[in-house]
Structure 1
Amino acid sequence: MANRIESKLIPALFEELLNERFVQIASIDHETGGPMINALSWVHAKDESVILFAVDKRSRIISNIEKNPLIALNIIANETCYSISGSAHTAGRSSGEVPIELAIVRLAIKEVRDIMFYGAKIVEEPKFDKTYDQEAAEKLDAQVMNDLKKH
């Protein structure tokens, strides 16, 4: 994307967001008015203009977007770093198939920017491991991702 600005996800980025992966979300803290960054993994591109993500229903992210819906999602993919910004709102709750109560958040994309500094590329994307029971983690991840795809 070479520092271009797009109004929706490019095909390669859309593909990256069809599966669980590490992303960061920046929102405005509802109490302090300052920036807040959180890490997420339950994200899903509904289409080129909408990203859904799931967070605990008590997450501070929910209070933040209720007061100020403008957020940015940061993802490292395709050897670069992207900022995906737009307006977010709670689109529902997780179904009974998910054993924890989650809020489903819908991000309507306004802008996608390649924000990598000039003359560089990412040579290794971030990776993470779940630190609790691997079987339980895989089951929960599958339940949440399936639930996201239904919204």
Structure 2
Amino acid sequence: MSNNNTTTLSPELVNLLQGEKIVSLVTMDAETKKPNLTIVSWLVAHEGGKVIKFALGHKGTSVTNIQANPEITLGVIGAGSCYSIRGNASISEIIEKTMKYRVVTVEVEEVEDIIFYGGQITSEPEYVKTYNEELAKKLDAEVYEMLKQ
């Protein structure tokens, strides 16, 4: 391991990863065995920096991929840099609320600062939800209650 690798999230990253962030999720495709990239935003890092939980739709490709190979990578832009977070993921049973979800629990194994030499992030990516505002609030409240457990 080089000096910029750790086995836990820093307190700054834990604080950053409390939801409403654009985080890349890389899984291995269950059929082709090639990398698969998607984006998650319902994501919460837990105190201590060893566990991250995020929510997925119950039938998503990422669910199938993680069930076949639990090794995942999360890509995070924020806290002044870019990070690769590798870990081992487990998937919950289907949780039925307003939608059907699965909660993914990631045991953090390696955190690496991957920004290029001399680079520093000066602003984080932002987004807006383009669907019904009341529904968005309801879904967010449900999901974050599940993820913070």
Please tell me the TM-score bracket, short chain as reference. over 0.9
Q: Deviations over 1:88-115 (max 9, x none)?
A: 1113443x5x300100011100000000
Letter in 1 for 2:103: I
* Cα shift at 1:18: 2.1
Task: Give % identity.
Answer: 37
Given that residues 55 and 103 in structure 1 are in contact (C-alpha distance below 8 angstroms), is that contact kept between their aligned partners in structure 2?
Answer: yes
Q: What are the superposed Cα offsets for residues 62-91 of structure 1, whole Å, 9 maximum, x if unpaired?
A: 111111111000111111100110111113
Q: TM-score, normalised by structure 1?
A: 0.91
**Equivalent position SS for 2:92:** strand
Question: Matched residues in 2 for 1:92 and 1:52: separation?
Answer: 14
Deviation at 1:38, TM superposition (A): 0.5
User: Helix, strand or coil for the counterpart of 1:128?
Assistant: coil
SS in 2 for 1:65: helix
Which residue is equivalent to 1:40? 40
Contact 1:20 1:44 in 2 (8 A): no
SS at match of 1:20: coil
CA distance in 1 between counterparts of 2:19 and 2:78 reads: 13
Alignment of 1:2-151 (within 5 A): 4-47=4-47, 48-94=49-95, 96=96, 98-150=97-149
Letter matched to residue 135 of structure 1: E
TM-score by length of 2: 0.92
The AA in structure 2 aligned to 1:118 is: Y
- Runs of at least 5 residues in structure 2 that lack an aligned partner in the other structure: none
Aligned length: 146
- 5+ long unaligned stretches in structure 1: none
Following superposition, the deviation at residue 39 of structure 1 comes to: 0.4
